[in-house]
């Protein structure tokens, strides 16, 4: 049984994946956040922005599934630390420790500025929709470098949205069921002929925007299709931001920051991507100066 490292193991995708792969691999689950242990895992806390931690967690494994990092649009400083420096550290630590196989779950946001009426494949030029998307393009490029220069085997999955079921119209095109995720990850770990590959991490969705023939060439046979949820989702769908609905990346194309979803306390402002986008647009509008108090000069609005 192979030993694999899953970084970002406490996140939603990492948790779904660990449940699906339990008993199939010896899993070393790593995250900066607390991890709820599943089955017989080795749990290690690590900060991948620190090379010493990256070296420690990649030692003695046969494959790395690198899910760790900043998972939404946000301030550049956070993305730089986790998704640029952290990603480099994981690749370099794996190389130094003799780990040949790295699975890099990149994102649909690496190509988010393609229109929804376009079908794209793994050969298209990246069109990131956000700083987060830029960081995923960086990870793909880094994987290409490590494959060509150091002979590592790199499997990049442009993940859509991993959930037990799709939650809105956009995700009818992007949905990636947990069992299909596990199947594609298993291919990435086990396939004997991988040098550098890019595939799309989606289920067999009839509404997909992606030509995923490269994944099918490697043996991927997804079992799920979002269409079974379509009628229910479309019946409740409300019109959204016109720019967001034009492009595959959705609200990432217009928002400056998208917080991680979390329970909303009574009276608190919404943390949904749609609400975050509305606040981002409001912040981008010029502010009118307040009337000056007697004897004081008016303050200038933000530029």
- Is 132 annotated as catalytic? yes
Instruction: Categorize the per-residue pLDDT at 260 as very low, low, confident or very high, splitting at 50, 70 and 90.
Output: low
Query: What is the structure's pLDDT at 257?
Result: 82
Average pLDDT for 15-32: 97
Query: What is the structure's pLDDT at 9?
Result: 97
User: Which listed residue (70, 132, 220, 247) is catalytic?
Assistant: 132
What stretch(es) of the chain map to CATH 3.40.50.720?
Answer: 3-232
Those residues with Cβ within 8 angstroms of residue 244's Cβ, 6 or more apart along the chain or in another chain: 250, 251, 253, 254, 277
Query: What is the structure's pLDDT at 28?
Result: 98
Say whether pLDDT at 233 is over 50. yes
Give the architecture (CATH level 2) of 3-232: 3-Layer(aba) Sandwich (3.40)
Say whether pLDDT at 105 is over 50. yes
Q: For the stretch 5-15, what's the b/e string if a residue is b when 16 or more beta carbons lie within 10 angstroms of its beta carbon?
A: bbbbbbbbbbb
Say whether pLDDT at 99 is over 80. yes
Decide: 200 and 158 in contact? Cβ < 8 Å: yes
Cα(216)–Cα(199) distance, integer angstroms: 9
Query: What is the structure's pLDDT at 39?
Result: 83
Query: What is the structure's pLDDT at 239?
Result: 87
Angle at 36 between CA 35 and CA 41, to 5 degrees: 85
């Amino acid at each position: 049984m192979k030993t694999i490292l899953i970084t970002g193991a406490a996140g939603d995708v990492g948790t779904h994946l660990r449940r699906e792969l339990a008993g199939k691999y010896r899993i070393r689950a790593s995250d900066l956040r607390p991890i709820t242990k599943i089955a017989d895992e080795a749990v290690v806390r690590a900060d991948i922005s620190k090379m010493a931690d990256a070296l420690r967690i990649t030692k003695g494994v046969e494959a790395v599934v690198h899910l760790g990092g900043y998972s939404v649009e946000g301030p550049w400083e956070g993305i730089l630390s986790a998704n640029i420096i952290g990603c480099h550290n994981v690749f370099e630590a794996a190389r130094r420790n003799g780990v040949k196989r790295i699975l890099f779950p990149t994102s649909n946001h690496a190509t988010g500025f393609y229109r929804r009426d376009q079908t794209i494949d793994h050969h298209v030029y990246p069109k990131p929709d956000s700083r987060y998307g830029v960081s995923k393009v960086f990870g793909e490029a880094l994987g290409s470098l490590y494959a060509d220069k150091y002979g590592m085997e790199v499997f990049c999955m442009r993940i859509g949205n991993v959930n037990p079921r799709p939650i809105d119209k956009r995700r009818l095109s992007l949905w990636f069921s947990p069992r299909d995720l596990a199947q594609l990850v298993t291919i990435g770990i086990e396939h004997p002929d991988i040098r550098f590959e890019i595939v799309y991490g989606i289920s067999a969705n009839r509404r997909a925007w992606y030509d995923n023939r490269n994944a099918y060439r490697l043996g991927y046979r997804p079992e799920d299709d979002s269409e079974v949820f379509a009628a229910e989702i479309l019946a409740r769908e409300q019109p959204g931001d016109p720019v967001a609905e034009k492009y595959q990346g959705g609200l990432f194309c217009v928002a400056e920051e998208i917080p991680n979803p979390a329970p909303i306390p009574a009276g608190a402002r919404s943390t949904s991507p749609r609400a975050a986008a509305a606040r981002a647009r409001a912040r981008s509008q010029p502010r009118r100066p307040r009337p000056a108090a007697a004897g004081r000069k008016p303050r200038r609005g933000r530029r």
